[in-house]
Amino acid sequence: MTPNAVLVRYAEVFLKGGRRGFFIRRLKEGLARQVSRAGPYRVREVHGFLIVADERSRGAEFPDLGSCEGLFEAVERTFGVVGYTPCRMVPREVSALEREVARIADEDVAGAASFKVESSRSDKEYPLDSMELNRRLGAVIAGRSGVPVRLRDPAVTVHCHILARHAALSLENRKGPGGLPVGSSGRVLLLLSGGIDSPVAGWLAMRRGCEVDAVHFEAAPYTTPEARRKAEDLARILARHERSLRLRVVPFGAIQATLRDAAPGALLVVLYRRMMLRIATRLAREGQAQALVTGDNLGQVASQTLENLCVIEAAAGLPVLRPLLTYDKMETVALARRIGTYEVSIRPHEDCCSLFVPAHPETAADPARVEAVEGRLDVETMVARAVAAADTLAIEP
């Protein structure tokens, strides 16, 4: 069956009560943005669904879509889509449906071991109920193909869904990424390192409807330019899911050197992270972000014990979201592979997180001791200079 449309389903968005219209508008905007990158497609809204079709489609006319892989990839990048169906949109009169399923019988059912028809209706006023549709269309396919009906685990299932003005015939349902439309939950700033965890955390924040910008802390001259390029490449992968992504690159090597010379080695990682959160808070407020996002995972490394997380977060002026807090490493790696960031993250280029790290870092930093060290430094000036020196990059998908 050659599709002439894609029927897009959403679930969680539909449950939003009085704000349902807002979420559906965001989903439609995000889907239209994604599919426009794949080709000349337009998005329509019908009762309970969105339909993606050729931009030339008008009324009952739906030109064939041709090669669809780029389109399918675009739909699968759209958060808020719970599933989608490549389909043929046809007139919903029974005679038109029978003609179309006869073609499906010839092209897709003939030679199969078994089949069934599975019908549903958005319009309950349609003259045939689902069982009657199943019988009428199934009789056409069986008579045309000679393939027996099997209601449990058939080799081919022909789906028929009756909409307000059309009917959608299809042979498969595909999964979408789920979640909420990007931009429906506000803006956040992601602390993006070159590692595996932080880009996955950013992807998960997007999946919950956040529009994400990012900040990367660059340790030049102690790290190579490849470390920065790695962060830019990770940001570019994340930007596929939204309009564009602003990446702020903060020179952090001088701050790390100052802390190295002023503080006990065991506290360095905690002090680095507190400075990062202070700088990120300032940048987030400039960019009108409402929260920070990190790739922290409880207990994964020394800085991520519960005690240290509390001491570090105390330096932030905004809520800190940690989508990966309870993930184990293998779950994070699997998700990084799925979203396409893993191969970039494992490039052998060090970032600031691995700079001047002591052999035995503190796992339960004393807040008073940390504050005493910072009290000997002009923290406000260090933060202000870092913010002023930050580069801003507009990362396009």
Question: In this predicted structure, what is the pLDDT of residue 46?
Answer: 86
For the chain, domain boundaries: 5-175, 187-395
Let me know if 263 is exposed, middle or buried by CB neighbors in 10 A (0-12, 13-18, 19+).
buried
What single DSSP character describes residue 109?
Answer: I
Question: In this predicted structure, what is the pLDDT of residue 97?
Answer: 96
Rounded to whole angstroms, the Cα distance separating 250 from 387 reads 7
Question: In this predicted structure, what is the pLDDT of residue 92?
Answer: 92
Using the Cα atoms of residue 46, residue 48, residue 54 and residue 55 in order, give the sign of their dihedral.
Answer: positive
Contact 26/181 with Cβ under 8 angstroms?
yes
Rounded to whole angstroms, the Cα distance separating 328 from 330 reads 6
> What is the Cβ-side half-sphere exposure of residue 304, based on CA atoms within 13 angstroms?
15
Name the class of domain 187-395.
Answer: alpha beta
Encode pLDDT of 199-234 as tens digits.
999 999 999 999 999 999 998 887 888 989 999 999
CA 83, 86, 90 angle in degrees (round to 5)? Answer: 125
* Tokens, residue 199: 């880009």
Assign a CATH topology to domain 5-175: VC0802-like (3.30.2130)
Paired strand residues for 176: none
> What is the Cβ-side half-sphere exposure of residue 193, based on CA atoms within 13 angstroms?
19
User: Which residues, at least 6 apart from 215, have a Cβ–Cβ distance to it below 8 Å?
Assistant: 189, 190, 191, 192, 247, 248, 249, 250, 279, 280, 283, 390
What count of other Cβ atoms lies within 10 Å of the Cβ of residue 265? 14
For the chain, the distance separating the N- and C-terminal CA atoms, rounded to the nearest angstrom, is: 32
Q: What are the angstrom distances between the C-alpha of 20 and each of 8, 10, 30, 48, 207? A: 16, 11, 15, 11, 17
Task: Confirm whether pTM is higher than 0.85.
Answer: yes
Rounded to whole angstroms, the Cα distance separating 357 from 267 reads 9
Question: In this predicted structure, what is the pLDDT of residue 265?
Answer: 86
Q: What are the angstrom distances between the C-alpha of 271 and each of 197, 318, 342? A: 20, 18, 28
Query: H helices within the chain, ranges in order?
Result: 20-38, 69-76, 94-104, 130-145, 197-207, 225-239, 253-262, 268-286, 306-313, 329-339, 342-345, 367-375, 379-389
Residues of the chain with pLDDT under 50: none
Contact 166/121 with Cβ under 8 angstroms?
no
Question: In this predicted structure, what is the pLDDT of residue 214?
Answer: 98
